[in-house]
Chains A and B, each alone.
Chain A
Amino acid sequence: MSTATPRKVAQPAPAEVATTRPRRGLRASSTFNFWLFTGPFLIGLVIFVFVPIVWSMYLSFFEARFTVTPSEFVGFANYKQILTDTDFRNSLVTFTVFAAFIVPATWALSLGLALLVNRLRFMRAFFRSVFFLPTACSYVAASLIWKMSIFNGVRFGLANTVLGWFGVENIAWLANPDPPWYWLVIVTVRLWLQSGFYMILFLAALQNIPQELYEAAAIDGAKPGWQTFRYITLPQLRATSTAVILLLLIAAYQAFDEFYNLLSKTTWGQPPLVELYKMALGENQNYGAGSAGAVVLTLLICVVTLLQGKFMGFGRGEESK
């Protein structure tokens, strides 16, 4: 039996009786407020996202060349065409190669930049801005700068000028697939454009790591640098890393602008979206086959995302780690 004197627990103050007249009808309803603020966006979503998706699925079962209101039902013929199309299958290989380059490279670079900027003691805002600024640049503009100024194939292109100082002959960066220098151009432009954004995500995550962990590690004899990074920083960034990798993977699937602007009239280096654009919205105007490809690609992205989430634990609570 406890001998402790029970502490007096403060009782909550009685709720004040509402003196104002209760609101009635729609205005009082929180449902009304919900629809008021989300309704316009929902309408936009339905009109500009869901209707096109449904329409695209509808088109995928029709012969739809040079028209988006077709009449000739062809069943799964467009799906058969797209799945047996070597160009479409090659585009999935291109995506895989691209993702294999760009996802780890961007992850490493943005994390490195975040660590660098996080430790800076002076001109912090300046460096954060410098690394983040490319995010504001359009992919098309950046691609054209890369193509016409830095990586053109003539002697006064920036890359060729630098190589020329070392006696290296001009390289046709984009026109020649052998060796495939175009990958260097494509990967560098995307790295430049997107690393700053992911750096910000990592920076926020770094600042959320409790300082006590590092202090405790120091007391336990952990050496600052690689050891604390390996055993404290990296595990603490796990959730952010998972999200970053997921976003990078989706962005890689959606790659279009730089490929489209850098590689014209090639049969290589065409990711799925460029391939589908050429098929549906480009010169061929085959909306049926293009829509079938879009449906296949959407399903593929969903499967990959779910698998990635399952393996990396995206969305899993802390307790289940």
Chain B
Amino acid sequence: MSAMSNSNWSRRSLFRAAAGMAAAGTLAACGGNNGRGGSGGSGKNLVQYFHAYGEAGVEQAVKRYAKAYKDANVTTQWITGSQFEQKLFAALLTKNAPDVFEFHPQIQLVKSGQVADLTDIIEPVKDDFNPADIKSHTVDGKIYGVRMIDDPQFFFYRPSLFEKAKIEVPQTLEELVEAAAKLKTSKVKGAFLGNDLTPVQSPLIWSAGADTLTEDHKVAFNTDAVAEGLKQLRGLFTSGNLLLDAPADWWDPSAFTQGLTAIQWCGMWAMPAMQQALGDDIGIFPFPKVGSAGKQSVTNGGWSMFVNAKGDNVEAAKEYVKWLWIEQKQYQEDFATSYGFHIPPRTSIAQSATKLKSGLPAEGVKLFNEFGHFDNIGWTQAMISSINDVMANSVRKNGDPKAQLDAAEKKVDAELKKLFG
């Protein structure tokens, strides 16, 4: 007799085991972390999505603010990795969509009814916000998001290396290409513009005297000057003076602080980490002029808070956003200046933020005010992807810049027609 037949494996016990496993599976599914917290707390449950900020302490700060809110249980989903946009967009189509989320102003979100009108909570303090930020969140007179931080992006450089190479701060793209050549050594590359070069695509357009879109929603990037700038970037890309394939991308200061590059395109948020690593040996300059008609430019990025218009708790979510990003000025200042450096979009906070009043941060604020370009709510992800393709095909792959810009114009035109008719 086999050992098996001596065991208790009857059909009935098998059925019991299967039922038990099914029950266990169901229980496990119930216990899954859906980010909505338990139901034992008081008030409503709200979920907020944040992308992972690189600076130490931001996550804890965001959760601390959420905990201080008494009218709802606010759970934070801290989304790591570089696919925040994709995760957010996918989640917004489901029942598990966040009630509150950070993102950039995009008309597509408004047109598809995914973000709630926040005019009523912003209107009383509208005049205290940077007017450009209000404009970039407004569609047909309604304001669809609250700006949390402004993030100027520019070039960081090591003045000591510039002095050693006997070069001045570049004023034109040609000078930047020459500087990268002179700064390159066997261990240090001349410049780092990001692994895929896409962070400088908008500044290149602005610095060539063009724009992404016109005020009346027409393509404005397809100019000869932009094509010329792309050609110059192609020269830099193939020169061997550009840092490519760095382990950490442009938003992280590692390549600069580890001495892999002498110049890096990055954001003001990285200043504290850079200052800690390199002391005072840091300077900044805007994206240089492209062509004779161009003007230096700075990207004024940033993040804004939106309310999911299709969520179950729209009013409660609006109340939370109002409480945190309009009423709690001390949290807003803490968020903007205690970890990385950002510029508070509220004028009153920006003026009182002592950390931004002197030294390198003050210089960053100056460049922001003088050369900054703000978000255009009509410039959608699909349009950004089209320009990503231009950078990939003309700068990294040696395609004809004008032909690539023409192809992008067609795609962006099609998008504009869908959005604005």
Q: Interface residues, chain A, CB within 8 Å of chain B? A: 33, 36-37, 40, 65-68, 147-149, 151-155, 157, 169, 172-178, 264-268, 278, 281-285
Contact = CB atoms under 8 A, between A and B. Distances in A.
Contact of A267 (B108, B244, B389): B389
A121 B270 CA distance: 58
B243 interface: yes
17 contacts: A33-B11, A66-B108, A154-B247, A172-B244, A174-B245, A175-B244, A175-B245, A178-B398, A264-B196, A266-B196, A267-B392, A268-B397, A278-B385, A283-B89, A283-B381, A284-B381, A285-B108
Contact of A155 (B187, B240, B384): B187
B420 interface: no
B387 to A, nearest CB: 10
A130 B198 CA distance: 41
Nearest to A286: B382
A278 B385 CA distance: 10
A154 B85 contact: no
Contacts of B85: 282-283
A147 B82 CA distance: 15
B15 A265 contact: no
Contact of B93 (A68, A178, A284): A68
B112 A65 contact: yes
B278 interface: no
Give the top 3 A-B pairs by smallest Cβ distance, nearest first. Answer: A153-B245, A172-B244, A283-B381
Contacts of B398: 178
B114 interface: yes
Given A152-B246, A174-B245, A175-B396, A265 B382 contact: no
A84 B106 CA distance: 28
Contact of B198 (A151, A173, A265, A282): A265
Best-buried of A147, A152, A174, A265 by chain B (most CB within 10 Å): A265
Contacts of B260: 154-155
A265 B393 CA distance: 10
Best-buried of A147, A151, A176, A283 by chain B (most CB within 10 Å): A283
Interface in B54-97: 82, 85-86, 89-90, 93
Contact of B112 (A40, A66, A153, A172): A66
A281 B385 contact: no
B52 interface: no
B119 interface: no
B39 to A, nearest CB: 26
A310 B200 CA distance: 52
B165 interface: no
Contacts of B114: 66
Given A153-B246, A283-B89, A283-B385, A178 B196 contact: no
A305 B200 CA distance: 44
Contacts of B132: none
Contact of A285 (B82, B89, B244, B389): B89
A265 B388 contact: yes
B10 to A, nearest CB: 13
A176 B244 contact: yes
Given A175-B196, A176-B396, A266-B196, A154 B89 contact: no
Contact of B397 (A67, A152, A267): A267
Interface SS majority for chain A: loop
Contacts of A178: 397-398
Contacts of B277: none
Nearest to B393: A267
B403 interface: no
A151 B244 CA distance: 12
B22 interface: yes
Interface in B27-58: none
Interface in B363-404: 381-382, 384-385, 388-389, 391-393, 396-398
Interface string B240-272: 100111110000000100001000000000000
A283 B389 CA distance: 14
B22 A266 contact: no
B264 to A, nearest CB: 13
Contacts of B247: 147-149, 152, 154, 157
Contacts of B15: 36
Interface string B220-257: 00000000000000000100100111110000000100
A140 to B, nearest CB: 9
Nearest to B388: A265
Nearest to B404: A267
A40 B114 CA distance: 36
A45 to B, nearest CB: 16
Contacts of A148: 247
A84 B329 CA distance: 53
Contacts of B384: 283
B195 interface: yes
Contacts of A65: 108, 112, 418
A152 B389 CA distance: 22
B246 A169 contact: no
Contacts of B243: 153-154
B362 interface: no
A152 B381 contact: no
A33 B93 CA distance: 39
A67 B93 CA distance: 7
A169 B108 CA distance: 45
B24 interface: no
B167 interface: no
Best-buried of A37, A67, A169, A266 by chain B (most CB within 10 Å): A266
Contacts of B108: 65-66, 285
Contact of A284 (B22, B382, B396, B397): B382
Nearest to A278: B385
Given A265-B196, A265-B388, A37 B396 contact: no
B125 interface: no
A151 B247 CA distance: 9
B419 to A, nearest CB: 10
B245 A172 contact: yes
A266 B162 CA distance: 33
A268 B388 CA distance: 12
Given A284-B381, A285-B89, A285-B108, 5 more contacts: A65-B112, A148-B247, A153-B245, A176-B244, A282-B85
